[in-house]
């Protein structure tokens, strides 16, 4: 299995063997326990459900509490299911940690980007400001004309307009693992990763 859940701890500088400085994102990757296994015979597809970050059982509702007790694992905050061939060979309760990766591996990281709220067209789409002369007033950051009158008498679908920005699922592909601290389940991944501090990330060696 080449996928694990992690938590973004923050960013720092990392100095390579030649003294070159790299920006890195520090991630706590796992440990993750298998909570449920889906098989073709029973569920018509193969998948593994893994849990990350333990929490008090009193904070879990009854259906989830029964789900964890059936698997014989502690209650967790985050559950994710991943489909892949051969998932039926993995047993419930198996634990995965950073040992599935090695320094120098390239991985794909998926997370939810920071939410920016409702934004105008200048920030959201990078449109230019309207001029400060020729009669422009009270609309320097506005989108200007958004359509035609006689034809087509409507606004084209997909027109760049103000709206909600951020809070989208983002995948950063082919980023390098520069360092692993196995005893703490910490990995240093080159560059920036999506999401805010303490955000949950999916780290995979390939698309899963």
> pLDDT per residue over 134-163, tens digit each?
888 888 999 988 888 888 889 999 999 999
- Within 8 A by CB and 6+ apart from 98, the residues are 4, 29, 30, 180, 181, 182, 185, 186, 187
Select the more confidently predicted residue: 125 or 104.
125
Q: What is the pLDDT of residues 11-34, one digit of tens each?
A: 999 998 888 899 999 999 989 999
User: Model pTM greater than 0.85?
Assistant: no
Domains of the chain: 3-111+170-204 (3.30.160.810), 115-133+149-166 (no CATH)
Say how far apart CA 181 and CA 88 lie, in whole Å: 30
Nearest Cα to Cα of residue 29 among 122, 131, 118, 97: 97
Q: What percent of the chain has pLDDT over 90?
A: 54
Structure confidence by residue, pLDDT tens digits, 169-205: 999 999 999 999 999 999 999 999 999 999 999 999 8
- Here the tokens at position 50 are 């893994």
């Amino acid at each position: 299995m080449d996928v694990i859940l992690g938590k973004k701890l923050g960013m720092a500088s990392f100095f390579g063997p030649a003294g070159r400085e790299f920006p890195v994102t520090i991630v706590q990757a796992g440990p993750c326990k298998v909570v449920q296994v889906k098989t073709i015979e029973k569920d018509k597809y193969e998948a593994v459900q893994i849990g990350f970050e333990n929490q008090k059982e009193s904070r879990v509702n009854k259906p989830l509490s029964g789900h964890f007790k059936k698997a014989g694992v502690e209650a967790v905050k985050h559950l994710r299911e991943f489909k892949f061939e051969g998932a039926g060979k993995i047993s419930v309760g198996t634990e995965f940690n950073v040992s599935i990766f090695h320094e120098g591996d390239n991985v794909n990281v998926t997370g939810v980007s920071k939410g920016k709220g409702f934004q105008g067209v200048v920030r959201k789409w990078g449109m230019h400001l309207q001029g400060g002369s020729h009669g422009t007033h009270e609309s320097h950051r506005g989108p200007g004309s958004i359509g035609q009158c006689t034809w087509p008498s409507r606004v084209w679908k997909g027109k760049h307009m103000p709206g909600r920005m951020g809070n989208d699922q983002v995948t950063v592909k082919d980023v390098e693992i520069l360092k692993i601290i196995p005893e703490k389940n910490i990995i240093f991944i080159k560059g920036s990763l999506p999401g805010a501090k303490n955000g949950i990330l999916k780290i995979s060696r390939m698309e899963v």
